[in-house]
Structure 1
Amino acid sequence: MNRRSPTARHRRLISELNRLREGSGLSRAEVAKRVGTTDTTIWRYETGLTRPKVSDVNTLLEVYGVTGAARDELLEVAKDARKRGWWHRYRQTLKPGFDSYIGLEAEASVVRTYQAQVVPGLLQTAEYTRAVIEETAVDSESAGVDEKVAVRLSRQALLTRETDPLSVVAVLDEAVLHRRVGGASVMAEQLRYLVRLSELSHVTIRVLPFSAGAHAGLDGAFYLLEFPDQEDPDVVYLEQATSGLVPEAPEEVRRYTLMFGNLLAKALPTAESTALLSSMAE
């Protein structure tokens, strides 16, 4: 699977175009005048509403005085940003915002998640996935369910890619283990699958026991994404019934990072978590 996600590349491009213009001391109107376009167009580039052509990015870099290797790298980023990821064909099936999350997940190096209701999609068996989607897709046709299952299972290839597989740190509320999604046999196999996954060096599964009492994650599930390039800041993803949100404000990301630390501190150690998963599977 291609590590270069168009969504993540576009996000990097937006950040760089904003940084370069601000560093140049030019206003959007001044930049627009120099490149022969409108300030609205520059604004759309910098807010991500429009993905600029590579030639347009090249013109902007000339205005900002970017040359050499830095220019070549940004042009490559712009080229990647205009491609379509494998998930693009499913856009009509996915909830608004989730396609953006998939694109970011595809380039992430680490995903940290807290789940209060269900096993995170990256760690689900096919049968568990179908049971979850069928129950939550109350207004969808079966064809839509099939496509959503296909998307979720395709995402799991990130865990088994040969080069730099995605690292996952998941904190599961104990309620997740008790909820018999799909029935007893489906749930038992899901728990056994989690045990097998926990044997992988890049997958960590911790259980937050009922005995932990109140904790920082009582407001609900969330995902924290970390990227291999330090220039790409961490991202938070919040999933709702009809949409997904990706708040990128540094203070929000920091808050969720602290929350995750609180959850890890209260969760059972890895070995105890695995033992609990195994015992409940039986």
Structure 2
Amino acid sequence: MTPRQSPTVKRRRLALTLRQLRTAAGLSAVEAARRVDHDASWLSRIENAEVRPHPNDVRAMLTIYGIDGEQAEAVIAVARQARQRGWWQRYNDVLPDWFVTYVGMESEASVIRSYECQMIPGLLQTEEYARAAFSGGPTQISDAEIEQQVALRMDRQAILGTDEQPALRMIIDEGGVRREVGGPKVLKAQIERLLRESERSRVRIQLLPFGAGTGFDGSFVILDFPPLPAPYPDAAEDRLVYLDTLTGAHYLERPVEVAAYSAAFEQLCAVALSPAATRDALSNIANDLAR
């Protein structure tokens, strides 16, 4: 599997589709589960993407929902993909469960919108910056764990520069590019990396300067996922918000929540420096660090 093939996203899409099809068929969870010789709790775990259903169970559910032919086969194919292993599983020793979900979703996002108020976004970090960030983090981890975390972060960046690279829209608070993580030399190299990445056609980096007089209390990421191709029965585009914390994460999917963060992101874009002005500002910061 390549990093772009994510069983996490497939499992989530499958869960949403099965719930939509059951609702369209006019069946309760209790009735649908009974018809395939299971209980409602089993179906609830499937529809909440907590478990990966066997393709045979998916076929049985599709039958009672009135889905057959090419549409049924398309859903069953996604069910098979959802049971595969993710590329990130070799990092299981250092990956907390709550971040596994994010890594899987990031791998197959079509658009990644990120607001970072403290650090450089992980997808754009240099290896030296990432190592310094993990070493100076609020929780102590061993040198071996630091190296695994750095390797994972570099592997996540495999989606950059490919034909399938997602569109990146990154807003970074000025404090994030002035905080000398790893020291001036490391930060200068990191800013130079941002300047190079900003030249990619699918990368838009904007700096939110101190002079903007505004900001947002907390970093967040908005992930967009492309619809699955026909004849898959659910063609809706999908979006969610990811909020990182010290001990866990929040995934916001309710339309009102996603709309609020989407509006906040666009407002931040409006007050941040343009991409061209951002490159000028970053170049000036790098030059100051060289003195």
TM-score by length of 1: 0.95
Equivalent residue number for residue 171 of structure 1: 171
Unaligned runs of 5+ residues in structure 1 are: none
Matched, 1:227 2:225: yes
Matched, 1:281 2:286: yes
Deviations 1:31-83 (A, max 9, x none): 12211111221111112222101111011111111112211110011011111
Q: Which runs of 4 or more aligned residues in structure 1 lie more than 2 Å from their structure 2 counterparts after TM superposition?
A: 1-4
How far apart, in 2, do the equivalents of 1:132 and 1:232 lie?
A: 34
Alpha-carbon deviation of 1:139?
A: 2.6
Alpha-carbon deviation of 1:88?
A: 1.8
The Cα RMSD (Å) is: 1.3
How far apart, in 1, do the equivalents of 2:44 and 2:195 lie?
A: 48
User: SS of the counterpart of 1:73?
Assistant: helix
Q: After the TM superposition, which of the residue ranges 8-17 and 86-95 deviates more from structure 2? A: 86-95
Equivalent residue number for residue 111 of structure 2: 110
User: Is the 2:3–2:159 Cα contact (8 Å) retained in structure 1?
Assistant: no
How far apart, in 2, do the equivalents of 1:27 and 1:123 lie?
A: 46
Amino acid at match of 1:177: V
Deviations 1:3-57 (A, max 9, x none): 3310000110010111011111111221122111112211111122221011110
User: SS of the counterpart of 1:97?
Assistant: helix
User: SS of the counterpart of 2:180?
Assistant: coil
How far apart, in 2, do the equivalents of 1:2 and 1:185 lie?
A: 31
How far apart, in 1, do the equivalents of 2:219 and 2:105 lie?
A: 18
Alpha-carbon deviation of 1:95?
A: 3.2
Unaligned runs of 5+ residues in structure 2 are: 228-234
Amino acid at match of 2:251: V
Alpha-carbon deviation of 1:137?
A: 5.6
Q: 1:249 aligns with which of 238, 254, 266?
A: 254
Equivalent residue number for residue 19 of structure 1: 20
Equivalent residue number for residue 194 of structure 2: 194
Matched, 1:101 2:99: no
Relative to structure 1, the CA distance from residue 245 to residue 96 in structure 2 (aligned partners, 3 Å threshold; closer, same or farther) is: farther
Alpha-carbon deviation of 1:220?
A: 0.6
How far apart, in 2, do the equivalents of 1:182 and 1:274 lie?
A: 22
Within 5 Å, give how 1:12-51 maps onto structure 2.
12-51=13-52
Percent identity between matched residues is: 40
User: Is the 1:95–1:242 Cα contact (8 Å) retained in structure 2?
Assistant: no
